[in-house]
Amino acid sequence: MSPSSTTTAPGARPVLVAGGISDSHTWNLVYLQLLLEEHGFRVVNLGPCVPEELLIAEALAHRPALIVVSSVNGHGYHDGMRTVTRLGEHPELADVPAVIGGKLGIAGPCGDEEADALRAAGYDAVFDDSAEGVAAFRRMLDGLPQRALV
């Protein structure tokens, strides 16, 4: 395989993708999986409506390079807060970055105050669903140290 190939090395830590606990939308998760794979990551996609217990169990099992929570149904702020608070109860996951993105407010993006509160609660980054948000997410992926390319 050529050194410039973007296939993820076997055994490299995957990225966990999870829909918000109340969120039944699925194409956002398919989109994220394809985007992450395009960036060379192995993805464990937990699907929509992911309970915190499942996310935590999968995170402890996989020790992922990144946890990506996606929410588009308008409950992103509250769901996201719950999730990151529960993740924070597990010191074993302290070094696993977690981000959230999508349509986090009830009319598209959430406000700056809510985004700040989500960061203060533990997310390493909060992305809105604009092209700029996705571009910022891509830049973050390119900078992840665990990204193991062969």
Tell me which residues touch ligand B12 (CB under 6 A): 22-28, 31-32, 68, 70, 72-74, 99, 101-103, 106-108, 127, 129, 133-134, 137
Q: Helix H segments across 39-130?
A: 52-62, 76-87, 112-121
CB of 73 to ligand B12, least distance (A): 3
Closer by beta carbon to ligand B12, 13 or else 127: 127
Backbone angles phi, psi at 54, to 5 degrees: -70, -45
Which residue type is seen at 50? Answer: V
- Sign, CA dihedral 129-29-97-79, equals positive
Choose between 39 and 103: whose C-beta lies nearer to ligand B12.
103
* C-beta closer to ligand B12: residue 72 or 84: 72
CA dihedral 72, 95, 47, 105 (to 10 degrees): -10
Contacting residues for 127 by C-beta, under 8 A, at least 6 apart: 99, 100, 101, 102, 133, 134, 136, 137
Q: How far is the CB of 31 from ligand B12 (least distance, A)?
A: 4
Least Cβ distance, residue 34 to ligand B12 (angstroms):
10
Give the residue with the Cβ less far from ligand B12, 24 or 85: 24
Residue nearest to ligand B12 (CB): 101
